[in-house]
Structure 1
Amino acid sequence: MPDPHPGRDPRSSYSRHIATRLLDFTRTGSPWHVRLWDLGSFLALEELHEAGVWVDRRVLSQTAVDWQRHALERLLGDDPALGSKVYRRQLQESLKTTLTLASDGRRKLRHLIDLARPGYLDRWAACAAAEQPPRPERVARAVTAHLLDSGHSLSGLHRWLRDGRSGLAATDLVAEAAALLARPPRDWSVVVPFRSLHRHEELAGHLANWRTADETQALIAGTGLKPPEHIVGSLTFTVKVRDSARAVEVASDLVERMQARARFAASGPMSPLGDAYVTGEAKPVPLLLPARGAQVLSLAAERQLYVVGAEVQHSGEQTGSAVDDALEIASALNHGPLAPALAGGWAALESLLTEARDPDEREKVVAAARAAALVACSWPRAELTALSYRIREVTGDDLTGRLAACGSNRERAAVVSAELRGRGALPLLRSWRTGSDVASVLRMRELFADEQRVLERVRFYVEVSLRRMYRCRNIVLHGGSTGGVALPAALRVTAPLVGAALDRLTHAHLVTKVRPVALASRAETALRMVGDDLGPDLCDLLE
């Protein structure tokens, strides 16, 4: 007999699913199709509250904020931990107002956010303990997003989960997450050594946080670590955050700001060592942060990664395609500073997915809808292809042989799709990734049960995030600010999605020569017709 409270049983598939997805969402190398695609409820509310300021300054249009309000109403309706019925009614009334800077609705929204944010994860723990708990995917997404939005880092959370918590019952795991969030941020000391720093004696020697080469080596040696050689000194930063990985992220951002200043000072080299030394860490931590997950894999798959400039080049001639231009514009997405990454990522989508003949599309935001359709259509094949490489050989079963005979990933995805539809399960490789593969199988089974509804839900989530990127880009470019409350989180969730859209557009450009806007139209039609007798197969939504 199944457990009437699966969230209380650490061995239940429900609890294992939640723990697995928390690990997926916090693993820095996770591919786009298994990552988080949106912010948590309370950061989304904070962003909406802040929007009144930008509307007043004419950085955001009221139309854009109205779309944001309506989308958030829909998303919050799927959040059982948001608050009581009375609270939800008050919040809904507030969201139905325009939320202009001096409005009563905006003042009420501020109070409602502050009222319900405390205890949010405790309420999710109670939801997970219920006899009929929410979908495990929903729980995992809400909990992870809230932790990240509250200042934890991906790698810090991942390490916390792997430290004996991934085997807990769902309700205990979420309760532990609530306890983690209740801890106040602490001070971390981050030492960033430099191999070279132009005129450091004159320009850095007077700073309170500057340490000479000898002082740096003695400071690091005092922690038990081997001090670096061939350095000119270091800058030390005291950072008040939730985990050591987040402390390094802050220090890395500060070094990037200094490098931006140095570019305007006609100065010489400014070369950080590449590693930072953090209080309590047993080894140096790379200063260069992991890539944000924007990948265009079709460049390598089609052997086009280095096909640039092979022909004779003539001064003044433009030889690149629109797709090449977009990839260059978006090149800051993975490792660039926040402002160029947001601005370049959006500009790449807008350049490819809008045209002058678009009727009455305000401020090119239609690019978000078109990119979302492309990403939604790419999702099933991405999941099925990944699963096709996780199949183990079973005696008497020819599945691995049929997969080996496939000539393309499209064929592999189709074989896995047919297998799942036929028997509902797959013989998966047994490894640390098995739980993630099982979760992927469950997502595909849900998709097969109602293709149009699930794909529409995916499209909506992606469009919400990409429209957020558009608003953040406006805050950066038209508001002249990198201090928007949702900007860092927006970049975290949208970079992989922009990469997925650019990957499909690049593949179409290289292989089928289909124009970007035409490919987007094909995707929009496929989403409307999927499941129909004349509609496309899930593996052929962009064909």
Structure 2
Amino acid sequence: MTTASIPDGKDPNSAYSRHVTTRLFDFTSAWTPWHRRLWAIGSFLSLEEVYEAGQWMERKVLGNSTVEWHKHALERLLGQDAAIADKIRKQELQKLLRGDLSIASADRRRLRLFIDRCRPGYLERWADKAAEATPPRAELVARSVASHLLDDGHSFSGLQHWIRNGRSNLSAYDVIREASLLADQGSSIWEIYVPFKSLPKFEELTEGLSHWVMTKNAPSWLSQCSYVTDPDEVGGFIYRVEARDFERAIEIASDLVDRVKARSKFARLAGTVAPCADVWVKGVSGPQPLTSATRGAHVLSLASEKQIYAVGSGVNRAGGDREEFIDDALELAATLNTGGLAPALSGSWAALESLLTEPRDPTEPGKVIAATRAAQLVACSWSRAELTAIAHQVRERQGDTIAADLKAMGTNRERAEHVAKLIESNVAIPLKKRWRLRSDVAAIERMQELLANPSGVLNRVHFYLESSLRGLYRARNVVVHGGSTGGVALAGTLRVAAPLVGAALDRITHAYLVSNTPVLELATRAEFNLAHAGDELGPHVCNLLE
């Protein structure tokens, strides 16, 4: 405790409260790198997914073994959630997850009651837990609160604005209480004017559409938003959207525009559907960019190895055999960042399955072993990514040579190993005083835990990652075999899994480009090294893929 009377969770200046608010900021930013992002959806959305699984099992979309793995994983994950229910109800949940959740079962009906009874007050309970004399881990608290808000329909940018608006320096207790009040506000109906600079045959095809307006007939509320007509504007649609914040409402409007584009591709129309860059939201001053949700899937090794444009240098044949299997996988996963929900889910899973399975694999249904192997690759990359990020934030300071030593090193591996040694030796690392300072401090705390217990921490990380990527497999099955994009957890699953798919593809691509390492050989190396992490003869945590 910071003082004898104030718990750390109620002291805004305590390291605990700073850690919670910092990680809330990390978890709600679309620009946070994969190794510092949320890796799982929240507790109640997870329960909604396993409840919904009953109908997919009935339709043979999800197999029994797939759902059983999910239930066992949830039992472990929700066992860490100190706020989901009291001890008696938690025991009841454990029995439900071990029971029969098929569509007509009594256990499934009881699960519905459990969700509906325990969901109210969830964030308030987390606030109370954070204020205890011995609170839960700050990482767990921040992760649970952030995932609950995002699952509830808040946007990344909306939550970032909310935190920046005087909440980044609150105590853990106060910021979570504020989050509870935010969640209780519910959704609003937003009116969004989306102008178009090109809309083929709009004079004829918009006739009778109540939400279409010509520029000269734009609604009066636009004048209160500092509306300025685009010189190329031909008119626009006014969409009424229900959302938690206006930023999320704009993302939904962007999805509607994508549907218009998709429909237009099936008509013989001259020209293209092209919206203007900015939209206007009733009650919000000034233009807002028309943006879709950012998913954060990146394969950075293509740029670092200068291979983005290294395509087609030889003789190319249409439809011929290609050895560039990496390009096949990247093409399959290309919709991860910008495509619709269905192609992003199905394409990203197809990319993982194409790379990380083989005919001789165990006969596990649906080749879900691809999720296990991808998770092992990403888990082996986590510590190097974190330590490298810390190394790049070390500032020069008079009286020590840490920054100079790091600059003199030729590889990220050397820099990461050096930072790891400093952390193990409890040497104070001078960090740059920038906006991300507190995020780097929190990362050092995670690395301290890892270096003290490599095997335990890495196995826990691998479990989180595999749970998320198996969620991607289930979501893909709902889309491909169930023919539905309305699954309760589809959007949330894509939000957490997309950066992890990008990280896995990045490691596979880097190994192929740098050393021509076969994918399954790399996966086997990851599996072996994870099993021996922390052994006296095992690899260092910075070298788990080498």
Give the TM-score, by structure 2 length. 0.97
Deviations, residues 225-275 of structure 1 (Å, cap 9, x unaligned): 323221111011111211001101111111112211221122231111122
Question: Offset of 1:224 from its aligned partner?
Answer: 2.3
**Residue 332 in 1 paired to residue 335 in 2?**
yes
Match of 2:70 in 1: 68
The letter for the 2-side match of 1:55 is M
Deviations, residues 186-226 of structure 1 (Å, cap 9, x unaligned): 11111111111111122113111001122238653343232
Give the Cα–Cα distance (whole angstroms) in 2 for the partners of residues 276 and 515 of structure 1.
47
Choose the corresponding residue for 1:434, options 426, 431, 437: 437
| Segments ≥4 residues shifted beyond 6 Å | none
Contact 2:57–2:64 (CA<8 Å) still a contact in 1?
yes
Contact 1:220–1:227 (CA<8 Å) still a contact in 2?
no
**Residue 537 in 1 paired to residue 540 in 2?**
yes
Match of 1:492 in 2: 495
- Unaligned 5+ residue runs, structure 1? none
Choose the corresponding residue for 1:448, options 441, 451, 459: 451
Match of 2:29 in 1: 27
SS in 1 for 2:225: coil
Give the Cα–Cα distance (whole angstroms) in 1 for the partners of residues 518 and 155 of structure 2.
38
Give the Cα–Cα distance (whole angstroms) in 2 for the partners of residues 95 and 184 of structure 1.
29
> Pairwise CA RMSD of aligned residues?
1.3
Deviations, residues 467-486 of structure 1 (Å, cap 9, x unaligned): 00001001111111100000
Question: Offset of 1:407 from its aligned partner?
Answer: 1.0
Match of 2:20 in 1: 18
Match of 1:3 in 2: 3
Tell which deviates more after alignment, 57-66 or 253-262: 253-262
Give the Cα–Cα distance (whole angstroms) in 2 for the partners of residues 532 and 490 of structure 1.
34
Match of 2:394 in 1: 391
Tell which deviates more after alignment, 190-199 or 377-386: 190-199
Contact 1:468–1:490 (CA<8 Å) still a contact in 2?
yes
Match of 1:127 in 2: 129
The letter for the 1-side match of 2:105 is S
Question: Offset of 1:89 from its aligned partner?
Answer: 1.6
Match of 1:172 in 2: 174
Alignment of 1:331-350 (within 5 A): 331-350=334-353
**Residue 79 in 1 paired to residue 68 in 2?**
no
Question: Offset of 1:320 from its aligned partner?
Answer: 4.9
Give the Cα–Cα distance (whole angstroms) in 2 for the partners of residues 411 and 214 of structure 1.
63
Match of 2:406 in 1: 403
Tell which deviates more after alignment, 220-229 or 518-527: 220-229
**Residue 360 in 1 paired to residue 393 in 2?**
no
The letter for the 1-side match of 2:436 is R
Question: Offset of 1:519 from its aligned partner?
Answer: 0.6
Question: Offset of 1:290 from its aligned partner?
Answer: 5.1
Alignment of 1:270-285 (within 5 A): 270-285=273-288
Give the Cα–Cα distance (whole angstroms) in 1 for the partners of residues 205 and 284 of structure 2.
30
**Residue 523 in 1 paired to residue 498 in 2?**
no
- Taking a change above 3 Å as real, the CA distance of residues 92 and 290 of structure 1, as seen in their structure-2 partners, is closer
Give the Cα–Cα distance (whole angstroms) in 2 for the partners of residues 400 and 52 of structure 1.
56
SS in 2 for 1:83: coil
Match of 2:515 in 1: 512
Match of 1:151 in 2: 153
- Taking a change above 3 Å as real, the CA distance of residues 44 and 344 of structure 1, as seen in their structure-2 partners, is same
The letter for the 1-side match of 2:405 is R
Choose the corresponding residue for 2:199, options 197, 203, 223: 197
Question: Offset of 1:90 from its aligned partner?
Answer: 1.5
The letter for the 2-side match of 1:335 is T
The letter for the 1-side match of 2:246 is S
Match of 1:114 in 2: 116
Give the Cα–Cα distance (whole angstroms) in 2 for the partners of residues 162 and 16 of structure 1.
14
Contact 1:221–1:227 (CA<8 Å) still a contact in 2?
no
Contact 2:225–2:280 (CA<8 Å) still a contact in 1?
no
Match of 1:234 in 2: 236
Give the Cα–Cα distance (whole angstroms) in 2 for the partners of residues 184 and 439 of structure 1.
32
SS in 1 for 2:101: coil
- Unaligned 5+ residue runs, structure 2? none
Give the Cα–Cα distance (whole angstroms) in 1 for the partners of residues 3 and 138 of structure 2.
15
The letter for the 1-side match of 2:267 is A
The letter for the 2-side match of 1:371 is A
Match of 2:144 in 1: 142
Give the TM-score, by structure 1 length. 0.98
Match of 1:291 in 2: 294
Match of 1:220 in 2: 222
Question: Offset of 1:3 from its aligned partner?
Answer: 3.2
Question: Offset of 1:446 from its aligned partner?
Answer: 0.7
Match of 1:209 in 2: 211
Give the Cα–Cα distance (whole angstroms) in 1 for the partners of residues 427 and 124 of structure 2.
35
Deviations, residues 285-304 of structure 1 (Å, cap 9, x unaligned): 22132531101011111111
Give the Cα–Cα distance (whole angstroms) in 2 for the partners of residues 351 and 314 of structure 1.
22
Contact 2:250–2:291 (CA<8 Å) still a contact in 1?
no
SS in 1 for 2:508: helix
Give the Cα–Cα distance (whole angstroms) in 2 for the partners of residues 3 and 516 of structure 1.
53
SS in 1 for 2:2: coil
Question: Offset of 1:311 from its aligned partner?
Answer: 1.8
Question: How many equivalent residue pairs?
Answer: 543
Question: Offset of 1:432 from its aligned partner?
Answer: 1.4
Match of 1:314 in 2: 317
Give the Cα–Cα distance (whole angstroms) in 1 for the partners of residues 398 and 226 of structure 2.
54
SS in 1 for 2:26: helix
Tell which deviates more after alignment, 514-523 or 282-291: 282-291
